[in-house]
Amino acid sequence: MSEAAVAHHTSTGLDSRKMAFWTFIGSECLLFGSLISTYLVYQGRSVSGPTTDILNIPLTSISTFVLLMSSLAMVLALAAVTRGDALWSRVWLATTALLGSGFLGFQAYEFTHFVHEGLTLQTSLFGSTFFVLTGFHGGHVFVGVLWLLTLLVRSFQRKLGPDKSLQVELAGLYWHFVDVVWIVIFTVVYLLRQ
Amino acid sequence: MDITLRHERGRRRLGALLGVMLAGSVVAACGGDYPQSTLHPTADFGYQVDSLFRTIFWWAVAVFVIVETMLMYVIVKYRERPGSPDPRRIHGSTLLEVAWTLAPAVVLVFIAVPTIRTIMNVTGDAPEDALVIDVVGHQWWWEYRYQDFGVTTATDLHVPQGQPVQLRMTSADVIHSFWVPKIGGKRDVMPGRTTFIAFTPDSVGAYYGQCAEFCGESHAHMRLRLMVDPPDDFDTWVRGQQAAPSEAVTLDADAQRGREAFAAVRTPGNHSCLACHAVEGLAFGALGPNLTHLASRSSIAGGILPMDADALTRWLRDPLTIKPGSLMPDIDLTEDEISTLVAYLLTLR
Amino acid sequence: MATAALTVDAPGFGSRVWSWITTTDHKRIGILYGVTAFVFFLLGGLEALVIRAQLAQSSADLVSADFYNQLFTMHGTTMVFLAIMPLSAAFFNYIVPLQIGARDVAFPRLNAFSYWVFLLGGLLMNASFFFGAAPNGGWFGYANLTSTQYSPGLNIDFWVLGLQILGVASIAAGINFLVTIINLRAPGMRMMRLPVFTWMTLVTQFIVVTAFPVITVALVFLMFDRTFGTTFYSVAAGGDVLLWQHLFWLFGHPEVYILILPAMGMVSEVIPTFSRKPLFGYAVIVYSGLLIAILGWGVWAHHMFAVGMGPVADAVFSSTTMLIAIPTGVKIFNWLATMWGGKLSLKTPMLFSLGFIAMFVVGGLSGVMHSSAAADLQQTDSYFVVAHIHYVLYGGAIQGIFSGIYYWWPKMTGWMLNERLGKTHFWLSFIGLNLAFFPMHFIGLLGMPRRIYTYDAVLGVDAMNFMSTVGAFIIGLSTIVFVVNVWYSRRERIEAGMDPWGAATLEWSIPSPPPNYNFTAIPEVVSRLPQWSDTEMKAIPTEPEGEIHMPGGSYWPAVSAVGILVLAVGALLESLAFALGGAVVLVVGIYAWAFEPFEM
């Protein structure tokens, strides 16, 4: 992104990139909204295969906690970048990425386990809606991790000073959004299961 | 000025043309024999929808005339002429805005009230004594099952005049839509769901209909006839359908050979007639139409060909040209086989 | 073009092409959108003519059933996604930054990316014709006809992938223009001073950004069903075929407003200009546009009255749909009031705007007829609906867009389109459209369903179908007149000057075509109609005071778009190598794009 754009005067005073990002997040809400609605509409309509009983709530609670902690690390990373603290920026960016990867690890384990239990994409409505919904979310986390790693590399290249805090802020917005979406999915799919 | 005059004439000519078109279409729509018209219903369902449509139509005509007249008036009155003064720069008027927000709202109330009333009346619920007929949509033909009488038939839907009928509909493959305009509106026919149409036909006759939801390659060829019979004729028809076909006639030599051809097992691909078609006492295929009383129907091939020897011959010779994509395959019958099969099929009265 | 001339002396063909591929100038991207969309419009029109030729008489066999199904599917898909939407986008691109006093859009490279993705998506979808496998499930692609069981070929795959790609382009452009309009307004250009076209663009993009994710999800389900064997639309697994319909129309109805609102915006610019009067009820027109967008989200199931949702749902959706008639009617009355007491100059742009009003009323009224669930049971899926959508989309959207084309052409090119040819175009188009589409009302009422490749003479609709076919060919002829007009006027070359129509908005205060930086100095806006205002706006200097930095070109947006195409081809061929290759190109493209030096 260009540096000059930051200095640009805007009608609202809000940086255009930030506004664009909020708009994007609005659009993403509709995306996840449609996925979650479909999951709800099809809940309990599967005619074969494992049911929601195979969901492991304690395990997923841990992975949810891991993802929540990553949001905290993200906040600390942004604070560190803003005050120009290179060391702690790296620490917290790396921590965020690591916790994100940890979440993905839990998900990979969960998916593999389910496949062994006989629940695949093709098995039933539950299989299709569950894997596509959580898989879409996992894909978003994966993109987020890539983004964080990019920022980490930039930091090591000494190209992530306080003047670039917006870059971290945008990544943070995305990361928190993905986190919030997970809270909704966790509630709908796991806690309110039927 | 010259140019504007010419356009004035052009506009008048255009008006005249549109007028002729409108008048022509109206005349065309009112006269003549239109077997699939929505404008001449013959059942209670159709009357209700038609009366609602006419109410809305005249409101629409009124609004159309008012708005288009205003438009023409403005164009003629305020067209730029040499020396016209510069207009006053008015930016709006709250009073007018309120007025023309309320005006359409009032008109809509006059449309919404009868609409909701009619919606409540055409849900497909039927009285207790209704004749319930199961309708199954197939690519691309209609199957009817009269559970009360143990009758299964296709394409021609027979109902008795004056008796409430309820169609209980589902699909064997993709989404179709059952539409006989003269009895009323259409209703989609979906796999995994059951939908209903209820009506009481009041005039004897043969009414045309066809599938109204795009359902694949030969969607255009998924037609049907609704036969409203006088009650006595309907009873006779039911008894005819209930009888086994072989009881009615003794087969001549050709037909007997045709019957054997019908039952013969062919390879490759098990392309035998009986693999897909049922004829009571002979075959039990369920993929295609039940042929037990084929010759008693008015048409074949999903209502696109008349029921006669010539059409049957053409159909057996080359079904996929007549009905592209059809499940009825071209099984390379010899001319001799075709003529004996036709002779046999014609006995299935 | 002017921009090219500024950077390169006597550029060769190669460098000219390169400069178009790498351009990030909103005006040139607007031209790219316009030309591409017009070519697709001609293609969609050609498909329509073959359809009409086939239907000119009963039991005709000009085309096969399957090819006919491909034709009507591609006619609908093309006109909606590849013609009307991008034709509007051409004007969003070219005109909106000029109207708000900006030097470019907020994200010039994202803008280029949107265009290239749109182009490649459109080409991919149309490439299907070369494989004899053009989409054939209808533009609405109802499940479960689109499942591999009932549509085993590549046809539906082309459609699914093409639409997903186009969705990416639309959402990217939507975000870009939302931010541009809200954030890049010149000083003094308050929201309630925005020209109505810009307002309608804003509303349209709001709908794009919210509606497209829904169809994306519906398409992802379909793609997964077809490719990975998921069960979203599988009846055997307990799935509901109506899930698709709900998702599709949840997108599909707002989509209708995506198609019509820009045209309404154009008409709202043209009518005041050629009436020499400000728009009557500016605020009401703006709010009614917003209201249409919001109400548009609550009416989707009126496309599904025949599925038997039950009387309560039918009644609710009938009522909400009828409500939409109110803000729409209000717009029409305000346009009439704008002309009332004005001094109407009946130039070509104005004729098309008047045609828009006259015809949109017809389409709107038949729309009210459909809104009545019970009455709609006779109309839906018949030619009556075909008449309705064509009055709205040809009589409305296309006439509005042609109004915009004739209106802004001098601004975009610096020369005027010929008036006589323009008027010939209008009258042929107007006669043609009524001849083609008016009889369809009666064809439908007499019981002819839509989407059938042939019909029986017994229906008694031969003569009217023939009339309709003649009308369609007259529309085709009128379009040829337009092409001739472009060619002829270009040679005739009547210079436009800055403000040939005496119009009031900001884009008319600068040279035609505008220099690549648009404004020598960012204007300070003091009124809604700066060119007509009594309060003089501070004059925009004729020469820039210093050097104006404009963003240079970039080829990374185009590269990223190619990545998406390769990814899609990978999905089409079910080739992991292709898909991975595409993904790598996409990621590299985005990285290079994010980190290249790009001044703006």
- Sign for the pseudo-dihedral over CA of C108, C114, C117, C119: negative
DSSP-derived pairing of the beta strands B195-199 and B156-160: unpaired
Does CATH number 1.10.3080.10 belong to domain C23-540+548-553? Answer: no
What local confidence, expressed as pLDDT, does residue B329 receive? Answer: 86
Range in A78-92, C346-360, C526-540, C581-595 with the lowest mean pLDDT: C526-540
Position A107 in a domain: yes
B5 and C CB contact within 8 Å: no
The pair of three-digit structure tokens given for residue A114, joined into one six-digit string? 């389910």
Contact between B162 and B202 (Cβ < 8 Å): yes
Question: pLDDT band at residue C25, thresholds of 50, 70 and 90?
Answer: very high
Range in B39-48, C298-307, C526-535 with the lowest mean pLDDT: C526-535
User: If DSSP states are collapsed to H, E and C, what string results for A112-144?
Assistant: HHHHHHCCCCCCCHHHHHHHHHHHHHHHHHHHH
Cβ contact C369–B14 (<8 Å): no
What local confidence, expressed as pLDDT, does residue B201 receive? Answer: 96
Q: Out of B21, B33, B75, whose CB is closest to C354?
A: B75
Question: pLDDT band at residue B83, thresholds of 50, 70 and 90?
Answer: confident
Residue C225 has pLDDT above 80, yes or no: yes
Provide the whole-model pTM.
0.94
Residue A170's alpha-carbon distances to A175, A176, C215, C344, in angstroms, are 9, 10, 26, 51
Position A158 in a domain: yes
Position A1 in a domain: no
d(CA C162, CA B77) in angstroms, rounded, equals: 50
Residue A95 has pLDDT above 80, yes or no: yes
* Chain B residues near residue C451 by CB distance under 8 angstroms: 214, 219
Residue for token pair 């020897």: B309
* Chain C residues near residue A45 by CB distance under 8 angstroms: 238-240
Mutation site for B-interface testing, chosen from C321, C372, C421, C533 by largest number of B Cβ within 10 Å: C372
Phi then psi for residue B185, to 5 deg, are: -75, 180
Do chain C and chain A touch with ≥3 beta carbon pairs under 8 Å?
A: yes
Residue B74 has pLDDT above 80, yes or no: yes
Range in C3-17, C142-156, C196-210 with the lowest mean pLDDT: C3-17
In which domain, by residue range, is A175 found?
A: 13-41+56-191
Contact between C457 and B207 (Cβ < 8 Å): no
CB pairs under 8 A between A and C: 117
The chain-wide mean pLDDT, for chain C, equals 94
Rg (CA), chain B: 28
Coil/strand/helix, residue B135:
strand
Residue B30 has pLDDT above 70, yes or no: no
Phi then psi for residue C504, to 5 deg, are: -105, -15
- Smallest CA-to-CA distance from B327 within B152, B141, B169, B189 is with B141
Question: pLDDT band at residue B85, thresholds of 50, 70 and 90?
Answer: confident
**Stretch C76-104: mean pLDDT, rounded?**
97
* Chain C residues near residue A38 by CB distance under 8 angstroms: 217, 221, 232, 243, 247
Contact between C513 and C31 (Cβ < 8 Å): no
Position A18 in a domain: yes
Task: Please give, rounded to a whole number of angstroms, the shortest distance from the CA of C438 to a CA of chain A.
Answer: 38
**Stretch C524-550: mean pLDDT, rounded?**
80
Label residue C238 left, alpha or beta by phi (over 0 means left) and psi (-120 to 50 means alpha). left
Dihedral angle, C-alpha A42, A45, A49, A53, nearest 10 °? 80
A125 and C CB contact within 8 Å: yes
What is the CATH classification number for the domain harbouring A150?
1.20.120.80
ipTM: 0.94
Residue B268 has pLDDT above 70, yes or no: no
Residue C295 has pLDDT above 90, yes or no: yes
* Strands ordered across the beta sheet of B131-138: B151-154, B141-146, B131-138, B165-171, B195-199
The pair of three-digit structure tokens given for residue B5, joined into one six-digit string? 């005059």
What local confidence, expressed as pLDDT, does residue C2 receive? Answer: 40
Taking a contact as any Cβ pair under 8 Å apart, which residues of chain C between 183 and 202 contact chain B? none
C539 burial class (0-12, 13-18, 19+ CB within 10 angstroms)?
Answer: exposed
Taking a contact as any Cβ pair under 8 Å apart, which residues of chain A between 132 and 171 contact chain C? 132, 150
**Stretch C326-347: mean pLDDT, rounded?**
96
Cα-based angle C329, B72, B15 (whole degrees, multiple of 5): 115
Rg (CA), chain A: 19
Residue C1 has pLDDT above 90, yes or no: no
Residue A191's alpha-carbon distances to A56, A57, C155, in angstroms, are 10, 8, 41
Residue B282 has pLDDT above 90, yes or no: no
A24 and C CB contact within 8 Å: yes
Question: pLDDT band at residue B252, thresholds of 50, 70 and 90?
Answer: confident
Residue A3 has pLDDT above 70, yes or no: no
Cβ contact C345–B80 (<8 Å): yes
Range in A46-55, B10-19, C384-393 with the lowest mean pLDDT: B10-19
Q: Out of C282, C307, C447, whose CB is closest to B91?
A: C282
Residue A100's alpha-carbon distances to A139, A145, A172, in angstroms, are 11, 6, 13
Cβ contact B181–C340 (<8 Å): no
Cβ neighbours for B169, distance < 8 A, ≥ 6 positions apart = B134, B135, B136, B137, B178, B187, B189, B194, B195, B196, B197
Question: pLDDT band at residue C10, thresholds of 50, 70 and 90?
Answer: low
d(CA A135, CA A185) in angstroms, rounded, equals: 11
Mutation site for C-interface testing, chosen from A19, A21, A27, A45 by largest number of C Cβ within 10 Å: A27
Residue C60 has pLDDT above 60, yes or no: yes
Residue C59's alpha-carbon distances to C456, C458, C462, C485, in angstroms, are 6, 11, 10, 38
Position A47 in a domain: no
What local confidence, expressed as pLDDT, does residue C543 receive? Answer: 81
Q: Out of C240, C282, C322, whose CB is closest to B111?
A: C322
Exposure class string for B80-112: b at 16+ Cβ within 10 A, else e: beeeeeebeeeebeeebbeebbebbeebbeebb
Residue B270 has pLDDT above 80, yes or no: no
Question: pLDDT band at residue C8, thresholds of 50, 70 and 90?
Answer: very low
Cβ contact C150–B193 (<8 Å): no
Q: Out of C150, C339, C453, whose CB is closest to B78?
A: C339
What local confidence, expressed as pLDDT, does residue C597 receive? Answer: 76
What local confidence, expressed as pLDDT, does residue B267 receive? Answer: 66
What local confidence, expressed as pLDDT, does residue C340 receive? Answer: 95
The per-residue pLDDT for range C102-123, each reduced to its tens digit, is 999 999 999 999 999 999 999 9
Contacts from B267-275 at CB under 8 Å and sequence distance 24+?
B269/B329, B271/B329, B271/B331, B273/B341
Taking a contact as any Cβ pair under 8 Å apart, which residues of chain C between 479 and 538 contact chain B? 532
d(CA B294, CA B345) in angstroms, rounded, equals: 7
Coil/strand/helix, residue C330:
helix
d(CA C327, CA C320) in angstroms, rounded, equals: 12
Amino acid identity of residue C217, one-letter, is V
CB pairs under 8 A between B and C: 303
Q: What is the DSSP letter of B128?
A: T
**Stretch B63-83: mean pLDDT, rounded?**
95
Maximum CA extent, chain C: 76
Contact between C349 and C423 (Cβ < 8 Å): no
**For chain C, domain boundaries:** 23-540+548-553, 554-600
Contact between C578 and C566 (Cβ < 8 Å): yes
**Stretch B24-45: mean pLDDT, rounded?**
77
d(CA B71, CA B65) in angstroms, rounded, equals: 10
Instruction: Count up the domains in chain A and report the number.
Output: 1
Residue B16 has pLDDT above 80, yes or no: no
Q: What is the DSSP letter of A25?
A: H
Q: What are the strands, taking DSSP E only, across C384-438?
A: none
User: B14 or B129: which carries more pLDDT confidence?
Assistant: B129
CA A28 to chain centre: 12
Position A5 in a domain: no
Phi then psi for residue C236, to 5 deg, are: -60, -35
Position A67 in a domain: yes
Residue B209 has pLDDT above 80, yes or no: yes
The per-residue pLDDT for range A58-75, each reduced to its tens digit, is 999 999 999 999 999 999
Cβ contact B119–C283 (<8 Å): no
End-to-end CA distance of chain C: 21
The pair of three-digit structure tokens given for residue C132, joined into one six-digit string? 């004899």
- Smallest CA-to-CA distance from A60 within A96, A98, A113 is with A113
Mutation site for C-interface testing, chosen from A8, A17, A23 by largest number of C Cβ within 10 Å: A23
Question: pLDDT band at residue A5, thresholds of 50, 70 and 90?
Answer: very low
Contacts from C571-575 at CB under 8 Å and sequence distance 24+?
C571/C157, C571/C161, C571/C223, C571/C227, C572/C154, C572/C157, C572/C158, C572/C161, C574/C227
**DSSP state string for C221-267:** HHHHHHHH---TT-TTTT--THHHHHHHHHHHHHHHHHHHHHHHHHH
Amino acid identity of residue C30, one-letter, is G
Do chain B and chain A touch with ≥3 beta carbon pairs under 8 Å?
A: no
Residue for token pair 């130039």: C347
Coil/strand/helix, residue B289:
coil
What local confidence, expressed as pLDDT, does residue C355 receive? Answer: 97
Cβ contact B22–C368 (<8 Å): no
Range in B174-183, B329-338, C300-309 with the lowest mean pLDDT: B329-338
Coil/strand/helix, residue B228:
strand
Residue A44 has pLDDT above 50, yes or no: yes
